[in-house]
Amino acid sequence: MLITVAAVLLKYWDYVVNPWTRDGQVRADVIQITPRVSGPIVRLAIEDNQLVKAGDLLYEIDPRTFAANVAQASAQYDKAKDNYTAQEKQVEAAEANVEVARASLAQASAAIKQADAEIEQNKAEYQRQQELLPQKATSQKSVERAKANYQVAVQQRLGAVASLAQAKASLLESEADLAETRATLGAAGDANASLREAQAALEEAELNLEFAQVRAPVDGYVTNLNLRLGSQAVANQPALALVDINSYWVHGFFKETLVEDIRKGDKAIVTLMSYPDKPVTGRVDSLGWGIAQEDGSTGEDLLPNVSPTFEWIRLAQRVPVRIHLDELPEGVELRVGTTGSVLVMTGSADSDHDKSVPPAPSALQ
């Protein structure tokens, strides 16, 4: 009898000297598949518990409304481009008007200079004719003609000054029109606000049309599928769950009295209840730094909740230890929420611990 007991203890010595727990649970990232748009489901491409690959179609929302929105946004974008082109032509016309006004201003300035020269010339001739008249070297008629020419030149200068003022006003007006048309046009090319707004609206409509087809973001299993053809998908409301098959890990909940010697990287042996004879190896990935406490939480009338305890009984709290799994043995399939026993081989983090360990005995599972 003693020999039998010794053999059993020797066989399962690792389960005696290393921390272990029967409170282990398989976990995985469970992705809530949430549609980005609302509408009735017109195509359901999956079945419950089906394996899908990343990018596979899960279901399709009626795309007709979104296709119409794309067509409308495309038309608005074309209209915005036409308006932009028309506004560019208006800017070009305003720039031409500014150039015409500047030419008129230059012409009016030249007319004043010419008028000044003619005034100077006619004034000198008038004075000369006045000096010749007493000497009988000219006639009164010639004097009157020189006087008239001088007065005409003075009047022409007044007209040129008025034209210059009008040209300045026209230039100011055309420059104001140019500034207004440029402001209406906005930035040039792809930086134009109207074009960017119309393009953004088109891209949003195209995205919504694309979002009508809901696809798997990762490889995984569809689970608890309750969708039906014709069901209304609501934007930002989870519609189904997808278990990421590449994210499985095991949480072992160890007594707080056992975690002192557990280190990140320590080898772990997981014996699943569903596969009691096929232990799964892994490594300690991390240890939890806190657990929720019921005692002290706010209760009725904002008073703390405190559970009664027996002073001679102290229950050790459970600390979650995350186990990263190695390659699974052949025939082992993990399911979220299933349980098993977890053994951590302390001191194996910094060593190549290749010692095989048998699955947990039935008494420990």
pLDDT at 301: 73
SS3 state of residue 259: coil
Angle 272-277-281 (CA atoms, 0-180°, nearest 5)?
60
Identity of residue 283: R
Q: Which of 280, 258, 304, 242 is nearest to 358 (CA)?
A: 280
The DSSP call for residue 273 is: T
DSSP secondary structure letter of residue 30: E
DSSP assignment of 140-202: HHHHHHHHHHHHHHHHHHHHHHHHHHHHHHHHHHHHHHHHHHHHHH-S-GGG-HHHHHHHHHH
Question: What tens digit of pLDDT does each residue of 294-323 get?
Answer: 766 777 777 887 777 666 667 788 999 999
> What's the CATH code, domain 13-28+248-364?
2.40.30.170
Q: Name residue 170's amino acid.
A: S
3-state class (DSSP) for residue 16: helix
Tell me the C-alpha distance between 235 and 37, whole Å: 5
> What pLDDT is stored for residue 15 in this prediction?
66
Whether residue 273 has pLDDT greater than 70: yes
pLDDT band at 266 (very low <50, low <70, confident <90, very high): very high
* Per-residue confidence band for 49, with pLDDT thresholds at 50, 70 and 90: very high
State the architecture of 67-203 in CATH terms. Answer: Orthogonal Bundle (1.10)
DSSP 364: G
The pLDDT tens digits for 25-41 are 999 999 999 999 999 99
Convert the pLDDT of each residue in 169-179 to its tens digit: 888 888 888 78
> Containing H/E element for 301?
none
Predicted confidence (pLDDT) per residue in 90-125, tens digit: 888 888 888 888 888 888 888 888 888 887 887 777
Q: Average of pLDDT values for 202-214?
A: 96
Residues 319-337: pLDDT tens digits?
A: 999 999 999 999 999 999 9
Q: Are 241 and 50 in contact (CB under 8 A)?
A: no
Phi and psi angles of residue 281, each rounded to the nearest 5 degrees, phi first: -95, 160
* pLDDT given at position 284: 95
Q: For 236-247, write each residue's pLDDT tens digit.
A: 999 999 999 999
Please tell me the predicted confidence (pLDDT) of residue 310. 63
Distance, CA of 295 to CA of 250 (rounded, Å)? 28
Q: Is residue 260 within 8 Å of residue 346, measured between CB atoms?
A: no
Q: Where are the alpha helices (DSSP H) in 29-139?
A: 64-132
- Annotated domain spans of the chain: 13-28+248-364, 29-63+212-245, 67-203
| Interstrand relation of 339-345 and 267-272 (parallel, antiparallel or unpaired) | antiparallel
Q: Which of 210-219, 262-271, 307-316 has the lowest mean pLDDT?
A: 307-316
- Structure confidence at residue 84 as a pLDDT band (50, 70, 90): confident
Interatomic CA distance for residues 88 and 343, integer angstroms = 76
Report the predicted TM-score, pTM, of the whole model to 2 decimal places: 0.72
Q: Is pLDDT above 60 for 165?
A: yes
Q: Are 70 and 206 in contact (CB under 8 A)?
A: yes
> In CATH, what is the architecture of 29-63+212-245?
Beta Barrel (2.40)
Task: Give me the percent of the chain exceeding a pLDDT of 90.
Answer: 47
Position 364 scores a pLDDT of 59
